Amino acid sequence: MKYNLELNAARFSGQKYIDIYQKYRPSPPPDLIYTALNYLNKTIAGTVVDLGCGTGISTRIWEDFAENIVGIEPSEEMIKVARKLSSPGKTEYLQRFSYKTGLASEIADIITCSQSFHWMEPKTTLAEVDRLMRPGGVLVVYDAHWPPTINEPLEKAYHDLFDRVDQLTGRLESKIMHKWEKSNHSENIKSSGYFSFCRKQFFHKSTVYDPEVLIGLALSQGGLEALLKRGYSDKEIEIPEFIQSVKKNSSLAYSQMTYQYSAIIAIK
């Protein structure tokens, strides 16, 4: 079956949306970097390739831990932001899809997919990962679990909003994207036959709670943005109700929210 991956890329466009994405998406937990390097058994990686890098949030974290970094992203608008924010000379960004990067074979020590693998066709992407990766190289596929851990009323408001997003998306006559189930990532990686080791791990990252950040995080989600691009109004999606609920329930005993991550680490 052929998939129109252009639909997936089109969701991550528009300057207003990209500004929200860049401002409110969290950077990955540092422990993820140290763990990947331990599996590689190096303090500094040679080349890191970040597939589906977006605005470079998951790419820039490697600037002190790799000699060379390449971000791959199909959205031209996101690539432009990534290039502005990254250190010149060390990091290169290419507007390409994960299954056809155009990079030389066996160049990568570490390949990462941060909250992006579910937008990629897994078989062709993993074949490209195998081609790019040096023997002993490390693949890290990781996802944050939305919403962050805060309290019951705030998390319920978030889930209610995205139940509404799913409801409206299900009514559309034509697809707005194609997404692969995250629950299948581990099996897809193991069954590819490219890796000698594969395991699932968990990470977390805590920060001070800010209601503006929670609201911005919700607005940065591709499914919600896709409905706005289709002409749905804030009111139809029930965004005002979500914002009102966040503001109403933002008095916390301890001002903390925690991002939870699941990661699959595989070694070639």
Domain range summary for the chain, segments of one domain joined by +:
5-149+178-208+258-267
Q: How far are the Cα atoms of 52, 116, 119, 134, 175 from residue 97, in angstroms, in the given order?
A: 8, 11, 10, 20, 20
Give the pair of three-digit tokens for residue 125.
Answer: 């992407």
Task: Label residue 162 by pLDDT band (50, 70, 90).
Answer: very high
Q: Phi/psi at 228 (nearest 5 deg)?
A: -60, -40
What is the reported pLDDT for 216?
98
Q: Tens of pLDDT along 188-240?
A: 999 999 999 999 999 999 999 999 999 999 999 988 998 998 999 999 999 99
Give residue for tokens 């000699």. Answer: 67
Higher-scoring residue by pLDDT: 31, 178: 31
Name the residue among 177, 239, 247, 220 with its Cα closest to residue 22. 220
- The mean-pLDDT minimum among 31-45, 131-145, 173-187, 248-262 falls in 173-187
For domain 5-149+178-208+258-267, give the CATH number.
3.40.50.150
Residue 74 CA to residue 76 CA, distance in Å, equals 6
- Decide which of 93 and 226 is more confident: 93
Mean pLDDT, the chain, whole residue set: 93
